[in-house]
A and B are shown apart, each in its own frame.
Chain A
Amino acid sequence: MSHDAVADLVERYLNDEAFRMAFARDPEAAVTDAGFELDSDELAALHATVSSRDEPLKPRVSKYSFGS
């Protein structure tokens, strides 16, 4: 798969809601069904797990209640 083809895949993901939903269920199946052919490196990139550390941090409120 060429660099342009990866770009096409990404573009399809961002503009096609149906493809996006299929991708959320099973990325590899969605990509294959849409006619994109992945080589082993791209397949590995598709399956790469990304850290879940992107998150808002809730306020830290150290409280002491009169009943506690």
Chain B
Amino acid sequence: MTSTASVAAPILAHVWQFRSFSPDTLDALAANATRETAPRGTVVIREGDAGIDAFVVIDGRLEVQIAGKQGPLPIAVLGAGELFGEVAIVAGSERRSASVVALTPVTLLRIDGKAFAQAIADDSHVRPELEAAADRMAVGRFIKSATLLGDLSPAGVAHLAECVHVRRAAAGEVVIRQGDPGTECFLIRDGELEVIDESGATVRHLATLRSGMLFGEAALLTGAPRNATVRVTRDAELLVLRGADVLDAMAGERELAEHLVALMQARSRPRRRAGIELHERTTADGAAIVTLKDPARGTYFRLSREGAFVWNRLDGQHTLRDLTMDLFIEYKVLAPDVVMDIIRRLAAEDFIEVERLDATATTAPKRHQRFFDGFRAVMEWSYSLNGCDAFFNALYERMGRYVYTRTGLLLTALVAAGGFAAFLAMAQRSAGTLLHAATVARVGAALIPLIVVAIVLHEVGHGVAAKASGARVDRVGLGWFWFRAMLFVDTSDAWLANRRQRMLVDAGGILVNLVLAGAAGYVALVAPNLTVAAVAWVFALWSYVGVLRNLNPLLEYDGYYLLMDALERPNLRGKSLGWIATGLWPALRDRTSLRGHRFELLYALAAVGYIGFVVAYALFAYRFTAQGWVARIVPSGTAPAYGRVFAFALGGLALIRLCSDLWTEGARLRRQAAPRRG
């Protein structure tokens, strides 16, 4: 340590709290100051230790921390010119109320505590300012350690601590009146309050609020009038937060925003949306399944037994407290987390009416999410035609209903099987015909319209099968799906059907392709004209290959839906990838959990492995088909490199899609985390 009186005075003169000190007082403080340095990580003062010396930061950054249950909680960050350690003197305590830790190598000016106390005693102006600063620190400490705002960053806590003002309210006083506009919310520092609903004929108690709880947030977040009255039941000390300050804090701190929204939802009285249909069925293992359908939007939501119980009570009167108590009494399940989770999911899908966030209170999605959302929108564009259910109804009545009988399906299977045998029998002759280049060109030209018709009929097959299962088909369309033009038919209404019926819908398109391929096989067998026979045979080959590709469960084609329905695992891909994103790492440490998620792990590993297959297949296909053509137009020896670029570009796109799903589904699972879900 070195005496630094000559350089200390100008430093002390720039400390904001010391601005009213006279030059003589500053000189006296400087004479009792020493310059110190400390490396990063040094605990300059420790909470609970004895000590009254104060410090001014000359250089570097330090963090003010208080002890929390899970470890130290940062409440402020200090930089050059800032004072710390003064609270012990101002509060008349010789114990430190917080720790201060160097975040970087620091240079400090240590001020002797006794000289500092004397300086404060000699100057009547400085004590109030130091007391105000100590109060702000106490408020910050309370915010950080005892409230839901504890997730705020040190800067956020310090900012809020500067903005709040303290309000004391006596028992019986009304702090918030139902129906009034709301521009503030309140943190309870001490005391007790009750929340009451005065909208009905009688006053209804909704909740009791105690120290550390926040109230009044709903009106700030929604812009709606106060939805309940809050009255003091035991003398209270409240920290009043202005709406603008809370919204500012939310804009910069996503976790705070999520906590406030969760709190608002926890206190809500949700109501079922009008027009939602409820459909019940029983699975093969006897479990009751309830599915909600919103006909206006064509969306579906599956409910468990408990979920259906909660749904039936969402009348705008029951609070989550009522719902949890009802569930406890009915099913002996004490699960406020599950009730809240059900409400959150229903609200996210717009099946219930809950208080909605005001536009100013929403936070922008993260950059990764915006990228993935934008990328997906470009890669999966589609155009829909609505109102086509009547068309499929008519088609089913005139034709489909004969196919979807036991006899009809048997005949269809016979045609398909016989046609496949004919296809195999004609393989050698057709391949021989295709060795002639002129025939190849004619076959290619004839195939294109046949393929277009086959794809249209594939989708018609799904639609007719949906009608056979009693489902509506309200939407068909076209678009592209990851660089491939596509046609589609929306069979979402099949969610209301049982497993066998859903699998029939999934297989409806493939069934059509097998029949068309079989018919083509017969044509190839009997056609006298070699070109016609070759066209029919190649069309059958294309159909069979298409069927195999469609059965790949790793892409969202028919095979995926077949697997999902066979296993009765809706949203299989999303759940598997979501679990990999959120549950794999913890499960690797707890093997019991890993065994319970074997299927998710297998599916996700297969999805990753499939990317490798895509790259290898593209390289192979390029080498044996396009490489020769490319070699004629690119510099000598570079054709293989083009193949590698092409293959890895395909693999890269597939990888981006996988990452997008991992990110999106992982985020969804984290938002909806309910650990006690079986």
Chain A residues within CB distance 8 Å of chain B: 6-11, 13-18, 20, 23-25, 27, 41-42, 44-68
Determine which of A48, A52, A62 lies in contact with B509 in the assembled complex, contact meaning CB atoms within 8 Å: A62
Contact between A57 and B332, CB atoms less than 8 A apart: no
Contact between B208 and A11, CB atoms less than 8 A apart: yes
Which 8 residue pairs across A and B have the least CB separation, nearest first?
Answer: A17-B148, A65-B484, A51-B304, A49-B678, A63-B488, A65-B486, A54-B307, A53-B304
Contact between B321 and A68, CB atoms less than 8 A apart: no
Which residue of B is nearest A66, CB measured? B485
Q: Would you give the shortest CB distance from B259 to chain A, in whole angstroms?
A: 5
Question: A10-B321, A15-B207, A66-B486 in contact; A55/B337 too (CB < 8 A)?
Answer: no
Which residue of A is nearest B324, CB measured? A10
Residues of B in contact with A, size category = 35 or more
Q: Tell me, in angstroms, the Cα distance from A22 to B91 when the chains sit together.
A: 33
Determine which of A54, A57, A62 lies in contact with B304 in the assembled complex, contact meaning CB atoms within 8 Å: A54
Contact between B337 and A15, CB atoms less than 8 A apart: no
Contact residues in B for A68 (Cβ distance below 8 Å): 484, 546, 549-550, 555, 557
Contact between B332 and A14, CB atoms less than 8 A apart: no
Interface string of B276-306 (1 = CB under 8 A from A): 0000000000000101000000111111111
Determine which of A6, A51, A53, A59 lies in contact with B328 in the assembled complex, contact meaning CB atoms within 8 Å: A6
Given contacts A50-B676, A60-B491, A63-B481, 13 further A-B contacts (CB under 8 A): A10-B324, A27-B337, A27-B676, A50-B338, A51-B307, A54-B342, A60-B492, A61-B492, A62-B459, A63-B486, A64-B455, A64-B458, A68-B555
Contact between A54 and B676, CB atoms less than 8 A apart: no
Which residue of B is nearest A50, CB measured? B338
B601 at the interface (CB under 8 A from A): no
Q: Tell me, in angstroms, the Cα distance from A63 to B342 when the chains sit together.
A: 31
Contact residues in A for B536 (Cβ distance below 8 Å): none
Q: Tell me, in angstroms, the Cα distance from A38 to B547 when the chains sit together.
A: 58
Pairs across A and B, CB under 8 Å, 13 listed: A6-B325, A17-B263, A23-B337, A45-B334, A48-B332, A50-B306, A50-B333, A53-B303, A54-B306, A62-B505, A64-B550, A66-B455, A68-B484
Q: Tell me, in angstroms, the Cα distance from A8 to B678 when the chains sit together.
A: 26
Q: Tell me, in angstroms, the Cα distance from A36 to B299 when the chains sit together.
A: 41
Contact residues in A for B488 (Cβ distance below 8 Å): 61-64
Q: Tell me, in angstroms, the Cα distance from A36 to B537 when the chains sit together.
A: 76
Determine which of A10, A47, A54, A62 lies in contact with B303 in the assembled complex, contact meaning CB atoms within 8 Å: A54
Contact residues in A for B558 (Cβ distance below 8 Å): 62
Contact residues in B for A59 (Cβ distance below 8 Å): 298-299, 490, 492
Contact between A51 and B306, CB atoms less than 8 A apart: yes
Determine which of A9, A50, A63 lies in contact with B678 in the assembled complex, contact meaning CB atoms within 8 Å: A50
Q: Would you give the shortest CB distance from A38 to chain B, in whole angstroms?
A: 9
Q: Would you give the shortest CB distance from A29 to chain B, in whole angstroms?
A: 11
B141 at the interface (CB under 8 A from A): no
Q: Tell me, in angstroms, the Cα distance from A2 to B675 when the chains sit together.
A: 26
Contact residues in A for B306 (Cβ distance below 8 Å): 50-51, 54
Which residue of A is nearest B488, CB measured? A63
Q: Tell me, in angstroms, the Cα distance from A64 to B304 when the chains sit together.
A: 33
Q: Tell me, in angstroms, the Cα distance from A49 to B676 when the chains sit together.
A: 6
Question: A14-B336, A60-B494, A60-B495 in contact; A66/B459 too (CB < 8 A)?
Answer: no
Contact residues in B for A46 (Cβ distance below 8 Å): 334
Contact between A15 and B303, CB atoms less than 8 A apart: no
Contact residues in A for B546 (Cβ distance below 8 Å): 64, 68
Contact between B677 and A52, CB atoms less than 8 A apart: yes
Contact residues in B for A63 (Cβ distance below 8 Å): 459, 481, 486-488, 556-557
Contact between A16 and B302, CB atoms less than 8 A apart: no
Contact residues in B for A15 (Cβ distance below 8 Å): 207, 209, 213, 263, 266-267
Which residue of B is nearest A7, CB measured? B325
Contact between A10 and B336, CB atoms less than 8 A apart: yes
Q: Tell me, in angstroms, the Cα distance from A16 to B266 when the chains sit together.
A: 10
Q: Would you give the shortest CB distance from B262 to chain A, in whole angstroms?
A: 7
Contact between B321 and A7, CB atoms less than 8 A apart: yes
B86 at the interface (CB under 8 A from A): no
Contact between B304 and A13, CB atoms less than 8 A apart: no
Contact between B207 and A57, CB atoms less than 8 A apart: no
Q: Tell me, in angstroms, the Cα distance from A6 to B561 when the chains sit together.
A: 43
Interface string of B247-273 (1 = CB under 8 A from A): 000000000000100110011000000
Interface string of B20-62 (1 = CB under 8 A from A): 0000000000000000000000000000000000000000000
B451 at the interface (CB under 8 A from A): yes
